[in-house]
């Protein structure tokens, strides 16, 4: 008899890339067939993929990306997470890397990098397929890179396909009309998962993660129902199941009980309004620069602060100019992690800074 509950706990971790995506067969195949021409050197269709958190967009994109890479044709698939790589230069550096272009030590500007990347793609008749995940997190003023990539044929004579991935359909509507038109009619919507689909997802994952017999069907049902209630979110459902396993383990069991699953659901609900939002926020904070993270830490401890108070507090911990700190605040505001309001105070007008929720 094996010890414990988990055979392979990593199969329930956020980084795990499942071999199958139950419930997303038609979306994966829509994306794959739009992009497949790239393998033969032909222009793929641009795509706009949207849907709520935890509906499988990133996983499906990574799935197709692997397929394109394995086809070993003319396609050069590139994955960019625009939250982490939110500037044109960062996006283009990622593309250069995928093309195997060495980056010069001296930093190049966006325009020059774009020229080099396009020249390289054109010379080898390779087809770039750029997945812009979390494209709504591109830093303000950086969306010209979308324009350039989506019109690369006319602008640079290179063959490029762009897949934009966002939570809301509204993102596309807000884009420049010329960019928007290059995505016209190529939307793929990821709907919320139904409780049945979530059960299927959980069963597949549970089979890898737990020892046989450790995870009964009622537990799967409860975690799936919770995920369905929280927006049809597979991330929430999986995380709840993982936590239920942890609770059972803590209680010294070899089989998860309904009570363990209930405890996991309650603690997930308590942890923040929503487990997924919490995890997403933590991931975003992890990706910040040290200076930005210090600002977040201070605001977490102190709540709302005026800019003067924030600068003073910050400088007690680390010597930096007000301008630099203000710059961090501006970046955090652009990433929608803090709110900045102009308010009247005894010292005249000042900025009040709070963490966004």
Binding region for ligand ATP (CB under 6 A) = 14, 16, 18, 21-24, 51, 53-59, 167, 201, 234-235, 238, 280
CA–CA dist 136, 173 (Å, integer): 12
Contacts (Cβ under 8 Å, ≥6 apart) of 111:
none
Q: Mapping DSSP to helix (H, G, I), strand (E, B) and coil, where does residue 165 land?
A: strand
Nearest approach in angstroms of CB 353 to ligand ATP is 26
How many residues are present in the chain? 357
CA–CA dist 153, 155 (Å, integer): 6
Residue nearest Mg ion, Cβ-based: 58
Nearest approach in angstroms of CB 235 to Mg ion is 9
Nearest approach in angstroms of CB 276 to Mg ion is 11
Nearer to ligand ATP, 91 or 135 (CB): 135
Give the pairing type, strands 338-345 and 348-355: antiparallel
Nearer to ligand ATP, 44 or 51 (CB): 51
Nearer to ligand ATP, 74 or 235 (CB): 235
Which listed option, Mg ion, ligand ATP, none, makes contact with residue 245 (CB within 5 to 8 Å by class)? none
Nearest approach in angstroms of CB 232 to ligand ATP is 10
Q: Cβ of 185: how many Cβ atoms within 10 Å?
A: 8
Strands (E), the chain: 47-51, 75-81, 127-133, 159-166, 187-190, 305-306, 338-345, 348-355
Which listed option, ligand ATP, Mg ion, none, makes contact with residue 350 (CB within 5 to 8 Å by class)? none
Nearest approach in angstroms of CB 53 to Mg ion is 8
User: Which of 41, 35, 148 lies closest to 91 in space, CA to CA?
Assistant: 148
Residue nearest ligand ATP, Cβ-based: 56
**Residues of the shown chain interacting with Mg ion in the complex, contacts defined by CB under 5 A:** 58
Nearest approach in angstroms of CB 242 to ligand ATP is 10
User: Which of 44, 117, 30 lies closest to 74 in space, CA to CA?
Assistant: 44
Q: For residues 202 and 224, is the Cβ–Cβ distance under 8 A? A: yes
Nearest approach in angstroms of CB 200 to ligand ATP is 8
Which listed option, Mg ion, ligand ATP, none, makes contact with residue 161 (CB within 5 to 8 Å by class)? none
Nearer to ligand ATP, 35 or 202 (CB): 202
Q: For residues 351 and 307, is the Cβ–Cβ distance under 8 A? A: yes
Q: Cβ of 251: how many Cβ atoms within 10 Å?
A: 13
Nearer to ligand ATP, 167 or 186 (CB): 167
Which listed option, ligand ATP, Mg ion, none, makes contact with residue 268 (CB within 5 to 8 Å by class)? none
Which listed option, ligand ATP, Mg ion, none, makes contact with residue 232 (CB within 5 to 8 Å by class)? none
Q: Please list the residues that pair with 166 across neighbouring strands.
A: 50
Nearer to ligand ATP, 63 or 314 (CB): 63
Q: For residues 12 and 237, is the Cβ–Cβ distance under 8 A? A: no
Contacts (Cβ under 8 Å, ≥6 apart) of 240:
223, 226, 227, 261, 264, 265, 268, 275
Which listed option, Mg ion, ligand ATP, none, makes contact with residue 192 (CB within 5 to 8 Å by class)? none
Which listed option, ligand ATP, Mg ion, none, makes contact with residue 327 (CB within 5 to 8 Å by class)? none
Encoding tokens for residue 319?
């010597």
Nearest approach in angstroms of CB 280 to Mg ion is 9
Which listed option, ligand ATP, Mg ion, none, makes contact with residue 201 (CB within 5 to 8 Å by class)? ligand ATP
């Amino acid at each position: 008899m094996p010890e414990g509950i988990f055979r392979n706990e990593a199969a329930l971790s956020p980084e795990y890339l499942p071999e199958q995506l139950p419930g997303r067969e038609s979306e994966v195949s829509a994306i794959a067939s739009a992009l497949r021409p790239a393998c033969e050197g032909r222009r793929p269709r641009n795509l706009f993929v949207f849907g709520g958190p935890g509906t499988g967009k990133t996983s499906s994109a990574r799935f197709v990306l692997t397929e394109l890479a394995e086809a070993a044709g003319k396609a050069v698939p590139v994955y960019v997470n625009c939250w982490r790589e939110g500037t044109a230069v960062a996006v283009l550096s990622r593309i250069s890397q995928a093309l195997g272009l060495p980056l010069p030590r001296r930093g190049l500007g966006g325009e020059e990098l774009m020229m080099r990347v396009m020249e390289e793609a054109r010379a080898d008749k390779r087809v770039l397929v750029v997945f812009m995940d979390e494209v709504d997190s591109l830093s303000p003023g950086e969306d010209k890179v979308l324009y350039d990539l989506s019109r690369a044929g006319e602008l640079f004579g290179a063959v490029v396909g762009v897949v934009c991935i966002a939570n809301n359909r509204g993102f596309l509507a807000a884009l420049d009309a010329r960019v928007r038109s290059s995505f016209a009619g190529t939307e793929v919507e990821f709907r919320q998962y139904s409780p049945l689909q979530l059960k299927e997802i959980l069963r597949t994952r549970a089979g890898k993660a737990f020892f046989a017999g450790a995870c009964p069907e009622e537990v799967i049902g409860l975690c799936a129902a919770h995920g369905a209630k929280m927006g049809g979110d597979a991330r929430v459902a999986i995380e709840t199941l993982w936590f239920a396993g942890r609770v059972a383990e803590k209680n010294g069991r070899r089989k998860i009980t309904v009570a363990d699953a209930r405890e996991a659901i309650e603690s997930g609900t308590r942890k923040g309004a929503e487990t997924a939002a919490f995890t997403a926020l933590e991931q975003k904070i992890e990706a910040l620069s040290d200076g930005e993270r210090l600002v977040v830490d201070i605001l977490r401890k102190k709540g709302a602060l005026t800019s003067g108070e924030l600068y003073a507090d910050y400088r007690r911990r680390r010597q930096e100019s007000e301008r630099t700190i203000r710059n961090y605040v501006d970046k955090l505001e652009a990433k929608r992690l803090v709110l900045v309001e102009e308010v009247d105070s005894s010292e005249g007008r000042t900025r009040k800074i709070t963490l966004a929720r």
